Chains A and B, each alone.
Chain A
């Protein structure tokens, strides 16, 4: 599983990355977490409000700081 955090470096984006790490640890799954800061790449996903959360190439949330538990819910589907 690959989790991408889309964000150009705002405070919320960093917080989302941290929550994603926590969520992966909690869920016990194997997942690669990658922070995407390149604006061109973010645009390719069609995301306009950061931070965005992408799981296996699919945008699951935009413009929101999800809590670790919410992310656990998204990755265990």
Chain B
């Protein structure tokens, strides 16, 4: 899909600048130019399109849909809605209480709460730009599986008393749907896309820059020795390392791309990416205001186990 762009970059770096395609500097520069342009183009298009689609699915609508559904249907639908609804961890509290208030089971609420940040637009766009649609589909598919199963497990544990603030018992009023013309949605989505790009561009440049350096200068054996290989501890370490990286997902993804090219196993890479997006420390800090430490620990523990299981299964099959 981007062959034409690779050709332009190649002719610029190896032709005009006269660098050797076998040299470290040449291949690092070529990699950097190719990746940054591709990432920014795809990031812009994907975030814009996803934001326009999401403007039709406010979380209030999701809550109304999930109300009173059969639990299993609820888990699956909640995880799927996580893909197409807008989610910001700053809204995690009203969202959580809003679901509970509508008597949506705790487990179903968690299925949504796990899926939504995992399927955030930046992660999806970066994955697609760097790894192509197959890995993106695997990530989304297995992400949904983790969200559904973890939600079911949490739901079975009778943890309703671990919610510290009880939402008002009265049913919330149905919000009137505001008709917004498409043109306005597109304008808002465009503003939002620009906002996101402003926030992440530096991380991306830094991430691809470091990635390009590794690509050109660090020998494959070094990577395999430290990050790759089939050592059993690669997956748990990747999962734990992912936890503090939520806000830098855009910068870390290019690094993962290079690491996989240099021998990191796909299962380890998937675990790492899922841990980055699904296990977010800032979100845990916000939820601490309404959930007991016990419930948050169970939430993190169950999701972490699910993510590691995916990593192990993949490495086992493909490794």
Stretch from B12-20, B58-66, B117-125, B143-151 contacting the other chain: B58-66
- Contact of A46 with B97 in the complex, beta carbons under 8 Å: no
B88 interface residue per 8 A CB criterion: yes
How big is chain B's contact interface, by range?
20 to 34
Q: Which residue of B lies closest to A64 (CB)?
A: B188
Interface residues of B (CB under 8 A from A): 58-60, 63, 86, 88, 90-91, 93-95, 97-99, 101, 165, 167-168, 170, 172-176, 178, 188, 290
- Contact of B97 with A39 in the complex, beta carbons under 8 Å: yes
Q: Which of B90, B95, B174 has the most CB of A within 10 A?
A: B90
Taken together as a complex, chains A and B put the C-alpha atoms of A31 and B63 apart, in Å, by 32
With contacts A42-B94, A43-B172, A62-B175 taken as known, whether A48 is within 8 angstroms of B60 at the C-beta atoms is yes
How big is chain A's contact interface, by range?
20 to 34
- Contact of A50 with B90 in the complex, beta carbons under 8 Å: yes
A 52-76 to B, binary, CB cutoff 8 A, 1 in contact else 0: 0000000111111000000000000
Within 8 A of B (CB), among A1-51: 8, 10-12, 39-40, 42-50
A46-B60, A46-B175 known; 10 new pairs, CB 8 Å cut-off, are A8-B94, A42-B94, A43-B167, A43-B168, A43-B172, A49-B58, A49-B59, A49-B86, A49-B88, A59-B173
Q: Which residues of A contact B58 (CB under 8 A)?
A: 49, 62-63
Q: Which residues of A contact B99 (CB under 8 A)?
A: 48
Q: Which residues of A contact B90 (CB under 8 A)?
A: 8, 10-12, 50
Q: Which of B97, B167, B172 has the most CB of A within 10 A?
A: B172
- Contact of A46 with B91 in the complex, beta carbons under 8 Å: no
Q: Which residue of A lies closest to B172 (CB)?
A: A46
Q: Which residues of B contact A61 (CB under 8 A)?
A: 178
